[in-house]
Structure 1
Amino acid sequence: MPNPTETLLNTRCLRYLHEIDVHGGVRAAADALSINGSVISRQVAHLESLHGVALLERSGRRVALTEIGKSLVEHFRESVRRDAELLAQLEDYRGLRRGRLAIGISEGFVEKLLATVLERFSLQFPDIFVELRGGATADVMSMVHNGEVDLGICVSGSSDPTIRARTFRAAPLCALVSPHHALAGERRVRFEQLAAHRLIFMTARFGVQLYLDSMIRAERLNLTPAYRCDLFSAAQAIAAAGLGVAFMSKDAAQYYVNAGKLVPLEIDHPIAREYGSQVIRRLGRRLSPAGEFVWLHLIKAMQSR
């Protein structure tokens, strides 16, 4: 007969499963936790033996969770969220103003939007530690969904039933070229005009690429990029060097535009004009007073743009 205390779910092991799910393997999870991979393997094997179920399965070179493994990870994440909410409530009751606020943010939002809100926030909550975690749109959505951050700011377009979003019209999606580029003298370009030039695309995790792909499908074009980047800063540098056409809002490339290193060209296409941004939080998640402050002021800031 197993010891009754051993039949309880081991929180540490559930965390290991969560890290395996996030990072796609035991070794990657161990690296993220700075522990030996054998520790994770033993814990998972023990839990499988204890309950008579398989928690992991091979999927090519990656390790994937079985259905019951996914259920355990979701149970763990929900427990973490509930614990965080309870601790926030206790903090409210004690009237404490110290704490931590985590915000997931895509490139291009810090300078024009978040900095203004954080200036007000720091005056009202000087003892709150703020953690900013950058990522593409899909990454920010995932961080909010998994409870890794309290709020997120990213390009709109993706949807998740577990996420509450406030969407706003952003600066339109534009093409960015060097002042010496053949298109630099144009103020507005048709999307099909760009087909003859070297293009700089982002990876599929970026919201801007979803808009680009939509325009390509709408115009029935077959475009092959010369470059594909996972950082806006890299795309901006390549475009500024005269090596291609980058795509993002003027706000996201404000530094290069103000320095005269990039010229923004309006894309004459309805999808480009629909380009939007969003502030997101997990549906049903109770934010701390500090989190609510940032949520409300971000919405106000985006409404006034």
Structure 2
Amino acid sequence: MHSRLLRYLDEVVRSGSIRRAAEKLNVASSSINRQIIELEAELGTPLFERLPRRLRLTAAGEILINHIRQTLRDHDRARFRIAELGGVGRGTIRIGTMNGLASGLLPHLCRNFVRSFPGVRFEVKSLLAPEIVSAVADGEVSFGLGYNLAPSPSLRVVETFRAQLGVVAAPGHKLADRAQLRLSDLAGEMLVHADSMLTIRAIVDEACRKVGVDLPAPFETNSVQMMKHLVVEGRAVTFLSPPDIDSEVESGSLVYIPLRDRLTPNPLLLVERPGGSENPSAALFMDRLQLKLRQIIPGPRDPAGLSSPA
């Protein structure tokens, strides 16, 4: 299949409709529809269920879109490597993210990437969720990574990771060796709470109400860095997701303990502009970021675009 058709199909799945994909790609919807019909005839099976308000992948479509996305990733990587041969493997990767991710997940990834590609530089902005959405939509950053980002027609969700809040403690803490904890196990512990600016607080408060546990805390902050510092330096514990403490877990300064109580998921979204990144360095870095997130957030993930309304 021609690479243009692959990108057309990818965008149709992400958008949930041919019309919306055509608008984003600046292509006539009749052209995309005709090519899909021709491909379905060639394969001898429908790729989409035509529902009243949206398209939904068939089983054959699911198989094909996985192949298409892998092919597109391989194509982008090949383009980057070819560009490198001409001395182009440079440029700036601009990332809009949240302060916990900026201090937890990204430092090692960025440092290792620069070691491999010394001509690349990073600009990482710590932003609130609405600011990430705006920065990506306006082209101020190459891509965004954040929790609970609001849907927007100006964004394409590359992947959604189902991050779960857990208890974070220093290795020497009495709870650090536990395989799992309940919220009630934290009664009487020195806690660091996120303040109401962070979605962490609402998730923890809701879970505590459901199980009837009151967890007062002497510390409250909107700085994930301060939360981690208080845990590392003192006897406190806090609530964070694995990506927020990836660097500290690798260095051995913090441990993550899953909670047995059911907490509302804390979805982590990797987003970009609908047309994708024009920076091959950013595209390759996003591939590495996705692989890392799949390692530290086990379990099912939500493929981009499959649940989008028409």
Q: TM-score range by the shorter chain?
A: 0.5 to 0.7
What secondary structure sits across from 2:156 in the alignment? strand
Residue 144 of structure 2 is aligned with which of 146, 152, 157?
152
What secondary structure sits across from 1:292 in the alignment? helix
State the alpha-carbon separation in 1 of the partners of residues 105 and 226 from structure 2.
19
Structure 1 gaps of 5+ residues are 1-91
Residue 247 of structure 1 is aligned with which of 236, 239, 244?
239
Identity %: 21
Question: Would the aligned equivalents of 2:102 and 2:126 in 1 still touch at CA under 8 Å?
Answer: no
What secondary structure sits across from 1:267 in the alignment? coil
- Indicate whether 1:175 and 2:167 are aligned: yes
State the alpha-carbon separation in 2 of the partners of residues 123 and 241 from structure 1.
34
- Indicate whether 1:211 and 2:203 are aligned: yes
Query: What is residue 200 of structure 1 aligned with on the other side?
Result: 192
- Indicate whether 1:298 and 2:279 are aligned: no
Distance 1:300 1:240, change over 3 A: closer
Q: When the two structures are aligned, how many residues end up with a matched partner?
A: 208
State the alpha-carbon separation in 2 of the partners of residues 200 and 131 from structure 1.
29
Structure 2 gaps of 5+ residues are 1-82, 297-310
Structure 1 vs Structure 2 CA RMSD: 3.7
Residue 119 of structure 2 is aligned with which of 90, 111, 127?
127
Instruction: Report matched runs for 1:1-305 at 5 Å.
Output: 97=88, 99-106=91-98, 107-108=100-101, 112=105, 115-116=108-109, 119-120=112-113, 123=116, 126-137=118-129, 139-155=131-147, 157-161=148-152, 162-165=154-157, 166-170=159-163, 172-178=164-170, 181=173, 183-184=175-176, 186-219=178-211, 221=213, 223-254=215-246, 256-257=248-249, 262-271=254-263, 274-284=265-275, 287-305=278-296
State the alpha-carbon separation in 2 of the partners of residues 268 and 193 from structure 1.
11
What secondary structure sits across from 1:149 in the alignment? coil
State the alpha-carbon separation in 1 of the partners of residues 237 and 103 from structure 2.
23
CA radius of gyration, larger in: 1
Question: Would the aligned equivalents of 1:178 and 1:184 in 2 still touch at CA under 8 Å?
Answer: yes
The structure whose RCO (Cα within 8 Å, separation 6+) is larger is: 2
State the alpha-carbon separation in 1 of the partners of residues 252 and 292 from structure 2.
27
Question: Would the aligned equivalents of 1:189 and 1:268 in 2 still touch at CA under 8 Å?
Answer: yes
> What is the TM-score of this pair, normalised by structure 1?
0.53
Read off the aligned partner of 1:236 and give its amino acid letter. K
> What is the TM-score of this pair, normalised by structure 2?
0.52
